[in-house]
Structure 1
């Protein structure tokens, strides 16, 4: 049963005349009459008795009135509740994030979100870029936090900030004392890398290929924590994100910049193509942007 038709029915019943009801709700009387006819056709019965001065409810109409009133009032209350929750930042979002960003950005971003919208609920899915793309296309997540360069196809994206990529070296490595390392020093060096399934691993591999650097991979890991531990154990060098380096600070390894060039990655928010982001999702992404850019 169409809620619009029930509202029209209640307006006519309360006004006692089609013309008066039409003026109250601001529509043409023929349109209102048509709505009542459609409702009567749906129910297979007459709801109003027409007389010279207006209309009166039939017995069936009198029985429908309190039921229609409850339905319309419930719908109105639901609409008002939703609008209020949206305005106050209530609601839930499902967020995807890649593993090389999630542990370093999301905790602080979630704290900021809870401060701005205490009623917001976040469900988190940590996964690789390729999986997050599929989840966005399927509508399984509301937003994904990922990094460039990676081919995300035609998904809408917002760049939230950039992050330096540094080189983690064992504490006794000459680069640790020098406070920097050259691209030439990476040539043939034993290297601890992330698996290329990570977009960061793919980016580092592309960087090495472009500069004809051929490191000797001695460890390929799925986790940055393992990468730092293996570098600290003296297994080799690794190109790592600056945020991860700050988190995994240890006396067993040092983190230095490339002397020849600056290597960076852009951190982005990815959105589904077929729906507009909610207020909570947009606020969450703004919180991520603040964390990435070091806002206090």
Structure 2
């Protein structure tokens, strides 16, 4: 067992397919399969369940994968330390974020990172915010963006932006310009289509409802934001989202929106990384790009919200 074998094995587990892992690693599929078989023989145990649909880790394979991610992360950090104060950050950085944040943040972050740090290979991954802390702990990603403070010493957090929530309604519904407001108690009485539990947005809305002793009239549950908007446009009900999530639909007249008040409901966008392994120089560079891009988008009114991050270096 060596570093190459662990790298290959981790890629196969993450891709769920030997063929996709071979493409990612840029090696021949038969050669990759042979490396995995040799690793299984070396450890005298089956590491992968192989089916026509792909591969998944066995119990032994899952244990090895956890060790592999930790070892590979520490090797990457060791390389950074040995390189010393190199002028440029290099290496792969995996950044996970939700679809709703990616709609605003992904493209400008990617463009800025490519321009400022050509030696960094940035990989963007879409994930539910509830899964991101687990991905960080398992070393499957370097950085993640969530909406809920973890209060976990294993997760280092940097607040970025605070966004207010809006009642999103069909376009024909009266008085739905973004400057309009609606009391939360009135919104709660309307037929609502909301994400299901344990979606972070649903948990936030439920928390506010409990604190204000309100019962929500939930007529349906849809987790995906694009489908939520489609349901509202079709007149099935209203939903609750950030203004950034519906700017395009407001502009083309498909939907209307009112800011929720009494109380204002807001959520915080948080940049996270593992605190158990020191970040690579490349991860720190991308983190700084994220903070600066968020600040610029807020300043330019391209991201409706309030910048709550530090103007100093991130993380």
What TM-score, normalized to structure 1?
Answer: 0.66
Number of aligned residues:
217
CA distance in 2, matches of 1:286, 1:238: 34
Structure 1 residues 243 and 179, CA gap change in structure 2 (3 angstroms)? same
Structure 1 residues 86 and 222, CA gap change in structure 2 (3 angstroms)? farther
Q: Does 1:157 align with 2:157?
A: yes
Name the structure 1 match of 2:192: 191
Q: Judge which range, 159-168 or 172-181, deviates more.
A: 172-181
- Deviation track 1:145-196 (CA, whole Å, cap 9, x = no partner) reads 1112x54522111111212221211222234268221223113210011122
Name the structure 2 match of 1:226: 227
Larger radius of gyration: 1
Name the structure 2 match of 1:290: 292
- Deviation track 1:70-118 (CA, whole Å, cap 9, x = no partner) reads xxxxxxxxx79x7399531221111122333223212221111112112
**CA contact 2:90–2:281 (8 Å) conserved in 1:** no
- Deviation track 1:229-273 (CA, whole Å, cap 9, x = no partner) reads 111111212110222122443412112212433221111111112
Question: Which structure 2 residues correspond to residues 1-296 of structure 1 after superposition, within 5 A?
Answer: 83=83, 86-148=86-148, 150-151=149-150, 153-154=152-153, 155-176=155-176, 179-249=180-250, 250-293=252-295, 294=297, 295=299
Structure 1 residues 262 and 290, CA gap change in structure 2 (3 angstroms)? farther
CA distance in 2, matches of 1:145, 1:172: 34
Structure 1 residues 262 and 188, CA gap change in structure 2 (3 angstroms)? closer
CA distance in 1, matches of 2:136, 2:169: 37
Structure 1 residues 92 and 200, CA gap change in structure 2 (3 angstroms)? same
- Deviation track 1:207-245 (CA, whole Å, cap 9, x = no partner) reads 222222222212211211111111111121211022212
CA distance in 1, matches of 2:84, 2:248: 39
CA distance in 1, matches of 2:158, 2:100: 18
Shift of 1:125: 2.5
CA distance in 2, matches of 1:197, 1:259: 24
What TM-score, normalized to structure 2?
Answer: 0.62
**CA contact 1:97–1:126 (8 Å) conserved in 2:** yes
CA distance in 2, matches of 1:169, 1:201: 17
CA distance in 1, matches of 2:119, 2:249: 32
Name the structure 2 match of 1:48: none
Structure 1 residues 134 and 187, CA gap change in structure 2 (3 angstroms)? closer
Gaps of 5+ in 2: 1-78, 301-315
- Secondary structure of the residue aligned to 1:292 is helix
**CA contact 1:169–1:175 (8 Å) conserved in 2:** no
**CA contact 2:100–2:225 (8 Å) conserved in 1:** yes
CA distance in 2, matches of 1:235, 1:138: 40
Provide the aligned C-alpha RMSD in A: 2.6
